[in-house]
Structure 1
Amino acid sequence: MTDLLDDPAPGANTPEFTVSEVSGAVKRTLEGEFGRIRVRGEVGRVFRARSGHLYYDIKDDRNVLACTTWKGQISQLSVEPEEGLEVVVTGRLTAFGAQSKYNLNVEEVTVAGQGALMALLEKRKKQLAAEGLFDATRKRPLPFLPEIIGVVTSPSGAVIRDILHRLRDRFPRKVLIWPVAVQGANCAPEVARAIAGFNALTPGGALPRPDLIIVARGGGSVEDLWGFNEEIVARAAAASEIPLISAVGHETDTTLIDFVSDRRAPTPTAAAELAVPVRLDLLAWVEAQGARLTRAAGNATAQRRQRLADLARALPRPEGLLDTPRQRLDRAADRLPRALIGGLQTRRLHLSETTASLRPATLQQRLAARQDRLDGWARQLHPALLRLVARRREALAATRLRAQPLTMALATGRQDLDRLSKRLDAATTARLERLDTRLASSARMLETLSYQATLDRGYAVVRAGDALVTSRDTAAGAPQLDIQFADGHVTAVPTDPAPRKPKKTVPKPPDQGSLF
């Protein structure tokens, strides 16, 4: 701090500092003394600001150290700090003079020991299980024979070669590879984006959507496989609409993606075996089923042929079935002529009896009886009609008497209607005259305020396209100008303006420095 000390003020033995000088000296001392350091402790309060910066505390049993990770540094962290996690953070110690606080700008976060990793893994597993992401009811069945298989893995490792080799041996299928980092800080976000990307493809499009996804990686330590224990990877696998097989690590390795995936394979090779059946086994099974079908069809045909022969032996001869109907036909043919003659004679007798009853005298008697009956009905109907006509006349007279007041009311109403019509015409005429007066006044005011009157006094309006030009620089930058005068428009092309005179700069007085 000796570089900040100046000569003491007259009459004082202790030098004076400004607040900024003290804060700057403290900051330089902290950064120069500690530089880049590593601190071990338990993560306390964690807060993510709206700006994206991450603020948290590292503490032990006695003290607390405030830590900050800026928005651009978060993606480089291999482990994001969580409350209660024991970590080792690496960064630079600095001070924030505006609040008289010091903190650690953290650039790297690692978990302090495998036990802490396991504790964090168990915490995440309980959280996701409580949300129902591990339920067996939400797991989808794998397609029996997928047309396209999407593989999320590193393109340069032995895993993809093992998967392709196994698929080629069992049942060759189309494979789409989404290259990702399988360890390190970029592993979790790239795997999550790969799963979401496969789901975003259009079925049957130029790049078709896979029917099955395999997320694969070879074996490794807990730290190497930690990217598949991240929450974003587990949630991406749970949200996948495409059935997903996880094949991360060896048979003894377990990650969070294994619990949320639809099927877990102990190795990447086993994942390929779960994805497709063996083609030769399918061909042999189809041939066996074909042979069984042929034998079953032959046996069924033979059994039905034997059954038909047995039933045919139990049937009578066709000639025997027709003997009885033939005898009935012969007897009916013998009786038919006699029946026709008897029927004809019976109808002839009935016709003769009917003709005898239709003599002229009998017909006249029937007509006279009918005429007498009609005359009687007419005599009864005439008085009734007279009475009905009389009642109708009386009702009509009463109706005319009741209609007289109605006629008087209609006349009065017609007079009122004429009076109201005259008042309405007068009011309408007066309103139209007032509106005409207001319209004429508004037109005069518009003509007074219009810029057209200004153009008549010798001014002009300059436009560049649809924009109004109000400055010399805007006019110089336009390719063509439209100038409106009072009597029409003129098109002009601007030329380079004359250079402006530079402004005179007034030299600043020399800095006399500080007495302190």
Structure 2
Amino acid sequence: MDLFEDDAPERGGNAHEFTVSEISGAVKKTIEGEFGHVRVRGEVGRVTVARTGHMYFDLKDDRSVLASVSWKGQVAKLTHRPEEGMEVIATGRMTTFGPQSRYQLNVEDVVPAGAGALMAMLEKRRQALAAEGLFDAGRKQPIPYLPEIIGVVTSPTGAVIRDILHRLRDRFPRKVLVWPVAVQGKSSAAEVAAAIRGFNAMTPGGALPRPDLLIVARGGGSIEDLWGFNEEIVVRAAAESAIPLISAVGHETDTTLIDHASDRRAPTPTAAAEMAVPVRSELQATVAQFGARLGQCSRAGLDRRAERLRDLARGLPRMDALLAPYQQRFDAVETRLPGALRGAISAKRIELSEHPLRPGLVMRPLERSRDRLAAVAARLPGAHQSGLAQKRLRLTGLRLNPGALDAALKRERRDFDRLAARLRPELVLDRVGRLRERLAALERLRGTLGYEATLARGYAVVRGDGHVVTDRASAQAATSLEIEFRDGRMQVGPASAKPRRATVTTPPEQGTLL
């Protein structure tokens, strides 16, 4: 029994032996054959992007976890990038990773699992971007009242661009630049962001002028159709735009993240065109109304000022009342003027009579000149004799020195010739004529200012005892009087010889001596 047991064959000894690689390959073939194309629904767990560009993430439910991978080329084609916490439907194929004995899902596309998941992801993204301040009201710019050029980012073939152009033409025609983009699909977000940044990169006033206003527009659609306007790249481009931007994506009930980042949201593309420009006819009517109001206000202002001026004018005194005191003062001055002139003339006449122009005023300078001439003539003989003596002495000295005598004679001859040249007869006669004219002028002045001219006008000179008598007391006290008239003198007997009553007469008005 023991021997039998020892000689028994080994249990399982006839089973095929597989290598590890064979088992791994068989499992891989079985899994990829059975699950070559699958759609898996689950919640996205940990998401990791390697430096090579490959994306690794987990799909999980309440009991299991499925490792998933999307290669670099597949990541660029994903409709939605998976984010942790999203509920998605991943499309791909099952495969294995032999070195680690793992199976995984190679994901080719990811879509949110229903509207609820999309809205949850949208709200999460909205909160993250709002935390960065991209939706702050302080960042928003005012829309220009009447832009010169409007840039439109939309599809060139849809009805949206036709509605915008038609509405602008009806309200206020403006220049429009259209940047064609895809408004849905995988490339939509990148093209819209590039269009916004492209318009901002234009040079103001260049060959292709930079717009004054941007409109990003698209017609209505599902949340999946409008998802490109919820992408972060579009929201950041709208927030960074230096040109005021109006978002008009979808219908009035549709809301995308670009609406929060734009400067103004329009419920429809047509409404965006209405926001962009005013109605030309209404603007003209408003301008006309403002002009009429301006004219009315100007007239009312002028009327108020005219009334105020009339009120102030009534408070002023009348012109004749203002001028009456000055007219009266002028009349008084005019009345006093003749008497004042006569008084001034009388005062000047009295002043002149107190200081008459007597001949002595003219004769005194002549007498002084005559005295100086006499003094010079008195000194002349002595000076002549002194000069002769000096000449004689010099001649005596020259006789002793014949050479000096000849030199002196030559000098004297030169001096004599020089003086003879200067002493020309016509010069002497001219000087004598000037002196004669000056003497005649002085004689005329003396005759004019002398008392003889005064006698010719009817006056007389009274002398008592050889002296000029200027008052009655001196005349009565003189022993004899002499009266000089224009044509001669007359002797009068003593003043006491024939006493008579003195008669004082007022001479007639003779006028002034000057």
Q: TM-score, normalised by structure 1?
A: 0.58
- 1:472-503 superposed Cα distances (whole Å, 9 cap, x missing partner): xxxxxxxxxxxxxxxxxxxxxxxxxxxxxxxx
Aligned partner of residue 155 in structure 1, secondary structure: coil
d(CA) in 2 for partners of 1:161, 1:187: 20
- 1:317 is displaced (CA, Å) by 5.4
Partner of 1:372: none
Alpha-carbon distance change, 331 to 97 in structure 1, aligned in 2, over 3 angstroms: farther
Are residue 120 (structure 1) and residue 112 (structure 2) matched?
Answer: no
Q: Is the 8 A contact 1:159 1:217 kept in 2?
A: yes
The structure, 1 or 2, with the larger RCO (C-alpha pairs under 8 Å, 6+ apart) is 1
Partner of 1:131: 132
Q: Is the 8 A contact 1:153 1:180 kept in 2?
A: yes
| Letter of the structure 2 residue corresponding to residue 247 of structure 1 | A
- 1:192-233 superposed Cα distances (whole Å, 9 cap, x missing partner): 222222222222222222222111111111211122222222
d(CA) in 2 for partners of 1:46, 1:133: 26
Are residue 103 (structure 1) and residue 109 (structure 2) matched?
Answer: no
- 1:278 is displaced (CA, Å) by 0.5
Aligned partner of residue 151 in structure 1, secondary structure: strand
Q: Is the 8 A contact 1:180 1:191 kept in 2?
A: yes
- 1:36-91 superposed Cα distances (whole Å, 9 cap, x missing partner): 32222111111122333322111222332222223333232111100011111112
d(CA) in 2 for partners of 1:23, 1:328: 139
Aligned partner of residue 82 in structure 1, secondary structure: coil
Partner of 1:58: 59
Partner of 1:482: none
Please give the residue correspondences for 1:290-309 in structure 2 after superposition, counting only pairs within 5 Å: 290-309=291-310
- 1:157-177 superposed Cα distances (whole Å, 9 cap, x missing partner): 111111111111111111111
d(CA) in 2 for partners of 1:185, 1:53: 19
Aligned partner of residue 31 in structure 1, secondary structure: helix
Are residue 258 (structure 1) and residue 259 (structure 2) matched?
Answer: yes
Aligned partner of residue 151 in structure 2, secondary structure: strand
Aligned partner of residue 38 in structure 1, secondary structure: strand
- 1:291-323 superposed Cα distances (whole Å, 9 cap, x missing partner): 222233233334444544554565555565445
Gaps spanning 5+ residues in structure 1: where? 1-10, 346-516
Q: Is the 8 A contact 1:36 1:90 kept in 2?
A: yes
d(CA) in 1 for partners of 2:72, 2:101: 23
Q: Is the 8 A contact 1:75 1:185 kept in 2?
A: no
Are residue 238 (structure 1) and residue 254 (structure 2) matched?
Answer: no
Q: TM-score, normalised by structure 2?
A: 0.58
- 1:13 is displaced (CA, Å) by 7.2
Alpha-carbon distance change, 339 to 229 in structure 1, aligned in 2, over 3 angstroms: farther
Are residue 225 (structure 1) and residue 220 (structure 2) matched?
Answer: no
Alpha-carbon distance change, 129 to 332 in structure 1, aligned in 2, over 3 angstroms: same
d(CA) in 2 for partners of 1:13, 1:121: 58
Please give the residue correspondences for 1:151-230 in structure 2 after superposition, counting only pairs within 5 Å: 151-230=152-231
d(CA) in 1 for partners of 2:206, 2:75: 36
Q: CA RMSD in A?
A: 3.2
| Letter of the structure 2 residue corresponding to residue 170 of structure 1 | R
d(CA) in 2 for partners of 1:176, 1:27: 56
Partner of 1:453: none
Q: Is the 8 A contact 1:133 1:260 kept in 2?
A: yes
Aligned partner of residue 297 in structure 1, secondary structure: helix
Alpha-carbon distance change, 339 to 193 in structure 1, aligned in 2, over 3 angstroms: farther
| Letter of the structure 1 residue corresponding to residue 213 of structure 2 | L
The aligned length equals 332
Are residue 276 (structure 1) and residue 241 (structure 2) matched?
Answer: no
| Letter of the structure 2 residue corresponding to residue 146 of structure 1 | P
- 1:153 is displaced (CA, Å) by 1.2
| Letter of the structure 1 residue corresponding to residue 235 of structure 2 | A
Aligned partner of residue 191 in structure 2, secondary structure: helix
d(CA) in 2 for partners of 1:116, 1:155: 32
| Letter of the structure 2 residue corresponding to residue 274 of structure 1 | M
| Letter of the structure 2 residue corresponding to residue 278 of structure 1 | V
d(CA) in 2 for partners of 1:24, 1:202: 62
d(CA) in 1 for partners of 2:235, 2:223: 16
d(CA) in 2 for partners of 1:118, 1:266: 20
Alpha-carbon distance change, 325 to 123 in structure 1, aligned in 2, over 3 angstroms: same
| Letter of the structure 2 residue corresponding to residue 216 of structure 1 | A
Alpha-carbon distance change, 197 to 98 in structure 1, aligned in 2, over 3 angstroms: farther
d(CA) in 2 for partners of 1:100, 1:332: 138
d(CA) in 1 for partners of 2:292, 2:75: 65
Partner of 2:354: none
